[in-house]
Each structure stands twice: as C-alpha cells, then as structure tokens.
Amino acid sequence: MDIQSIIKLCGSYWKFCSTKTKIKTGVHNVKNKKTFLSLLLLLIVGISIFIYHHQTNADTVKVRIGQSKKFTGEEINAAVNTVKSGFDIGGSRITDIWYSEKESNGMLEDYKHSANGSWITDVKKENAIVIFYNFEAISDDSGWEPGTHLDGYCWILVRDSKKGEWRVKYKTSVGI
C-alpha cells in the first residue's frame, strides 16, 4: 500500500466518521474521532519516516564538483543525480560522489582503448561524462560486512545531444 492509497483511505474514513456524526450522538462519536485522529497521527509518523529515510539515502551524500570547460554546473548536477537515483546496490549507500574533468577525460580515454570501449568513439566528447563515487555497506544484504567502505567506483554516462538526458552506459571500479 503506497502513501496515496493511505491518504485516500484516511479521507474516506473521515467522510464515514462525519456521516456517522450526523446520525449518532454521544460517546460513539468521540470514539470515532479518536480512532480517526489516531490513524491520522500514525499516517503522519509513517510519512515522516519515509521522507527522512529517502532523504538520508540521497540528500546526505557529499558531492564535489570540480571546474569544467566541457560541462555547465547544471549538466554535471544532472549526471550526479542520475547516479544517485540509479544506485541500486541493496544494503549500501553512496557516501561521496564527485566529478573531476581531468579524471573523467582520462577514464574515457583509457576506456576507449579497452575491449569494451569501442562504442565510445561514436559519442561526441560533450555527450560523455564519468561520475566517480565511493559507497558503504550498511547491511548484510549488500554482500559485504556492514561498515565496509568501497572506494573508487564510477559510472560512464552518455546522452544523445547537449540537451539530452544522461543515461548509464557502463559501471566499473577504477582502483583510485
């Protein structure tokens, strides 16, 4: 059950309680209102926990963006957000993420000469970016012991045009 369904259910219940209020009087109305208020409080607490959990996974990541002649800050932030939202290693969280034009260009050049990198020669330089990150295992679900820090990973992102959206082309460790 998602949040919108819960809100809709509470609204229906409030409407139901309001209808009963018009028909019945006395102690029963107070009991219905207390029940409704209890459900509403539970809903508010649930939503707060959901928002806090979501915020701690994506918004508390340390982000470092270096100077760039190739991309605007907006373009780099869009690439960083693609990595943040696409990070899918269960039981883990990104601890820091960064863009360095020198490292990005070097990684793209190295990758171009690797067995998997032949596709990169077809992509314009302004449509490929490398975003680097470190992450931490926070539960056994990750495959690592909780508290284990894993450093030196990156995603190569590409887009079709200068105004296009970034998409992940390749994920790898870089041994930084």
DSSP secondary structure, 7-49, as one string: HHHHHHHHHHHHHHHHH--SHHHHHHHHHHHHHHHHHHHHHHH
Q: What total of structural domains would you count in the chain?
A: 2
| Residues 67 and 86 occupy one common structural domain | yes
| Residues 97 and 152 occupy one common structural domain | yes
pTM: 0.65
| Residues 77 and 38 occupy one common structural domain | no
| Residues 7 and 92 occupy one common structural domain | no
| Residues 105 and 154 occupy one common structural domain | yes
Give yes or no for residue 46 having a pLDDT over 80: no
Helix axes 27-58, 3-23, angle to 10 degrees: 170
What does the pLDDT average to over 115-133? 84
pLDDT tier, 7 (very low <50, low <70, confident <90, very high otherwise): low
| Residues 72 and 19 occupy one common structural domain | no
Question: What is residue 172's predicted lDDT score, i.e. its pLDDT?
Answer: 81
By residue range, what is the domain housing residue 111?
61-173
Question: What is residue 130's predicted lDDT score, i.e. its pLDDT?
Answer: 95
pLDDT tier, 176 (very low <50, low <70, confident <90, very high otherwise): very low
| Residues 105 and 51 occupy one common structural domain | no
- Per the prediction, the chain carries an average pLDDT of 79
| Residues 145 and 76 occupy one common structural domain | yes
Q: How far apart are CA 104 and CA 151, in angstroms?
A: 16
Query: Of 57, 87, 103, which residue constitutes the final position of a domain?
Result: 57
| Residues 12 and 30 occupy one common structural domain | yes
Cβ-proximal residues to 159 (8 Å cutoff; 6+ apart), any chain: 127, 165, 166, 167
